[in-house]
Amino acid sequence: MNAAPHLLPSVRWHPAEYALWLVPIACFFLFPGYRVLGSQVFITALFALSLDLVLGYAGILTLGHAAFFGLGAYTAGLLAAHGWGEPLSGLAAAAALAALAGYLVSFLVVRGEDLARLMVTLGIGFLFYEAANRAAGLTGGVDGLPGIAMGKVLGVFSFDLAGDTAYVYSLAVLFVVFVLARRLVASPFGLSLRGIRENRARMPAIGAPVRRRLVAAFTIGAGVAGLAGALLAQTTQFVGLDSLGFGRSADVMIMLVLGGTGRLYGALLGTALFMLAQDYLAGINPVYWQFWLGLLLVAFVFFARGGILGAAETLRRRFSRP
Amino acid sequence: MSNALRTEQLTRRFGALEAVCDVSLALPRGARHALIGPNGAGKTTLINLLTGALPPTSGDVYLGDERITHLRQHPRVKRGLTRTFQINTLFGGLTVLESVLLAILEREGRAAEWRRPVARYAEDVEEAMDLLATLRLADDADRRTATLPYGRQRLVEIALALATRPRILLLDEPAAGIPAAESGEVFGAIADLPPSVTVLFIEHDMGLVFRFAQRITVLAGGRILAEGEPEEIRRDERVRAVYLGREDG
């Protein structure tokens, strides 16, 4: 019989993917004044990527994802503030702790349905926020965590004011995690997550342990979110309570939905669009920029279902039809 | 001969309603057993109790000699007890091949692996394509399940169940909602199962029931009204009164 692997989604890199990854490299040289913003975009894109694994693939609605971002940020920040400024081990520690927290929390999250999950994750977000607020002696509370002193990346590149190191460092971490995530979603594990998202009730009937899979997905998502938070702490050398805040959880969901869920690239494009639009609109009018962002969001939901990538796919299908 | 699947006084109440009451059923290995009864007789509830989708109020379910009354759904599937659904319950956004492949990967305990893309699991992909070919679904392999006509989706429903390599297969109205001409295809696939596979099926089409069943259990009001070989059931006055009478009339 025909083995037919060609009938399955290709795992080869498409030329458009290479082109897309060349864009940030080109931007490094073309827009030197925007390197700080660039690194913020990469970090937030990494955060959105982590949400895509949880929401886009596993189908878990969450409004508390910033809890893990903030936990990662505080972990890396506290390590650096207490003399452990080596960046890569700081990232690893932050990701590990965020993943552990995600694992513990996941048992509360995976049980319920959508509304229950929203409430539980929202509640967990508030718990983390208030815990950090109360532990002001450790976290600096509303004043933020002071005294972060970062070492050099790989012992060579120190973080500079122009943001050169931060730009390359964040982009490199984003790329490595993206490659791993891309592999993950194309794997049997990724397929089983999509199965759960498509029809959770059917999965046990083909022998799948649904909860165990969701726990794994949520844990991985939390770990990646922690990684993103750690990157922010290291590159800005500051951690504030807003890293754990509800606003961050909501923003990242908007970015992901703008780009398109369940596609990985949607997280990257949505984040870039959101943050660049925010930067541009705030430049025009620092007070009312959210108005235009709101308009953009509503327009997307009505006219471009599935976000940028969803709309692109719909158009491609329409035009490729004979 | 030992029984593949057996229930003892299985009961499920929903408040005051006794959906399934005191049902003791025994399916020997390789049985082709039909479950019939008017709407609301408790047939689907009984399937839900057998698969673990619902916990019973009282009574027990045995798989071979093992008591599985409180086992969850997915470990029952791992032990070879698989069902199909009366209303298509598929993975709409996955392709037909992906859906069947997912069931095979789960069966083989490979569905949590993440290092290799699914396309590299050549043996599993080949098995999936073979299964689709036997159900004449090979041409639809790369189509999203949701885009298939209802009758084809019905076959995917069967394919998903067969991909788990069941020892006991519970079919909830496998031919429901598809034209009579195509129901032959569905039952053809079931008839081709190895004789060692035990089959319990719910079906309203009496022609199909009498053609495929070796034994028939009639449920009415959640209780077993009659059980026997097709000829006995056909002659049973009580059955004719509650069920067959209307079909004949």
Does residue A141 contact residue A237 with C-beta atoms inside 8 Å?
A: no
- Which H or E run includes B230? helix B230-235
Amino acid residing at B63: L
Angle at B179 between CA B177 and CA B184, to 5 degrees: 105
- Say how many C-beta atoms besides its own lie within 10 A of residue A287's C-beta: 7
A7 with B116: Cβ contact below 8 A: no
- Chain B interface test: which of A6, A179, A198 (most B C-beta within 10 Å): A198
A189 with B114: Cβ contact below 8 A: yes
A223 or A241, greater pLDDT:
A223
Minimal Cβ distance to B142: which of A7, A192, A199? A7
How far lies B153's CA from each of A299, B4, B137, in Å?
35, 29, 10
Q: If you average pLDDT over each of A75-79, A118-122, A224-228, A254-258, which comes out highest?
A: A224-228
Each residue of A60-110: pLDDT tens digit? 999 999 999 999 999 999 998 888 889 999 999 999 999 999 999 999 988
Distance in angstroms (rounded) separating the CA atoms of residues A6 and A287: 52
**Helical axes A210-236 vs A188-198, angle rounded to 10°:** 110
B102 with A187: Cβ contact below 8 A: no
Which residue, A112, A13, A124, is CA-closest to A63?
A124
Minimal Cβ distance to B73: which of A7, A199, A204? A204
SS3 call for A110: coil
Q: Which residues pair with B215 in a beta bridge?
A: B33
Report the mean per-residue pLDDT for chain A. Answer: 89
Which residue, B145, B133, B194, B126, is CA-closest to B165?
B194
Measured between CB atoms, does A290 come within 8 Å of chain B? no
Q: How many CA atoms lie within 13 A of A114 on its CB side?
A: 4
How far lies A48's CA from each of A72, A259, B245, in Å?
15, 10, 62
The DSSP secondary-structure symbol of A203 reads: G
Each residue of B212-247: pLDDT tens digit? 889 999 998 899 998 999 989 888 888 888 765 554
Which residue, A268, A269, A273, is CA-closest to A293?
A273
B-chain CB neighbours of A195 within 8 Å are 91, 94, 99, 102
Q: Which residues between 87 and 116 in chain A have a beta carbon less than 8 angstroms from any beta carbon of chain B?
A: none
Each residue of B182-207: pLDDT tens digit? 777 778 878 788 888 999 999 888 88
Does residue B130 contact residue A208 with C-beta atoms inside 8 Å?
A: no
Measured between CB atoms, does A210 come within 8 Å of chain B? yes
SS3 call for B72: coil
Shortest CA gap B92–chain A (Å): 6
B130 with A1: Cβ contact below 8 A: yes
Pairing of strands B17-28, B32-36: unpaired
Tokens of A87: 């960046």
Q: Give me the residue label for tokens 């003791």.
A: B24
Distance in angstroms (rounded) separating the CA atoms of residues B162 and B107: 11
Measured between CB atoms, does A133 come within 8 Å of chain B? no
Q: Predicted confidence band at A139 (pLDDT cuts at 50, 70, 90)? A: confident
Distance in angstroms (rounded) separating the CA atoms of residues A179 and A21: 12
A-chain CB neighbours of B164 within 8 Å are 206-207
User: Does the pLDDT at position A322 exceed 70?
Assistant: no
Task: Report yes or no for ipTM above 0.85.
Answer: yes
Global pTM reads: 0.89
Minimal Cβ distance to A198: which of B94, B106, B121? B94
User: Does the pLDDT at position A207 exceed 80?
Assistant: yes
B126 with A210: Cβ contact below 8 A: no
Distance in angstroms (rounded) separating the CA atoms of residues A145 and A135: 11
A-chain CB neighbours of B98 within 8 Å are 8, 191, 194
A-chain CB neighbours of B102 within 8 Å are 188, 191-192, 195, 206, 208
A187 with B106: Cβ contact below 8 A: no
Q: If you count them, how many residues does chain B have?
A: 249
Does residue B157 contact residue B185 with C-beta atoms inside 8 Å?
A: no
A-chain CB neighbours of B126 within 8 Å are 1-4
E strands present in B110-222:
168-172, 198-202, 215-220
B110 with A188: Cβ contact below 8 A: yes
Which residue, A206, A111, A226, A9, is CA-closest to B158?
A206
pLDDT of residue B245: 53
A-chain CB neighbours of B91 within 8 Å are 194-195, 198-199, 202
A21 or A140, greater pLDDT:
A21
Q: Predicted confidence band at B248 (pLDDT cuts at 50, 70, 90)? A: very low
pLDDT of residue A5: 59
B77 with A4: Cβ contact below 8 A: no
Distance in angstroms (rounded) separating the CA atoms of residues A227 and A221: 10
Q: Predicted confidence band at A185 (pLDDT cuts at 50, 70, 90)? A: very high
A-chain CB neighbours of B51 within 8 Å are 205
A-chain CB neighbours of B163 within 8 Å are 206
Each residue of B50-107: pLDDT tens digit? 999 999 999 999 999 899 999 999 999 999 999 998 888 899 999 999 999 999 999 9
Nearest residue on chain A to B122, alpha-carbon basis? A3
Alpha-carbon Rg for chain B in angstroms: 18
Q: How many CB pairs under 8 A join A and B?
A: 141
Does residue B199 contact residue B190 with C-beta atoms inside 8 Å?
A: yes
Minimal Cβ distance to A3: which of B107, B112, B125? B125
Q: If you average pLDDT over each of A96-100, A275-279, B38-42, which comes out highest?
A: A96-100
Nearest residue on chain B to A3, alpha-carbon basis? B126
The sign of the dihedral angle between the CA atoms of A208, A211, A214, A216 is negative
B-chain CB neighbours of A183 within 8 Å are 114-115, 117
What mean pLDDT is predicted for residues B35-50?
90
pLDDT of residue A6: 66
Distance in angstroms (rounded) separating the CA atoms of residues A292 and A229: 27
pLDDT of residue A266: 92
**Helical axes A114-134 vs A87-109, angle rounded to 10°:** 130
Those residues whose C-beta lies under 8 Å from the C-beta of residue B23, and which sit 6 or more positions away, are B7, B9, B10, B11, B42, B46, B59, B219, B222, B223, B224
Measured between CB atoms, does A189 come within 8 Å of chain B? yes
B-chain CB neighbours of A209 within 8 Å are 74
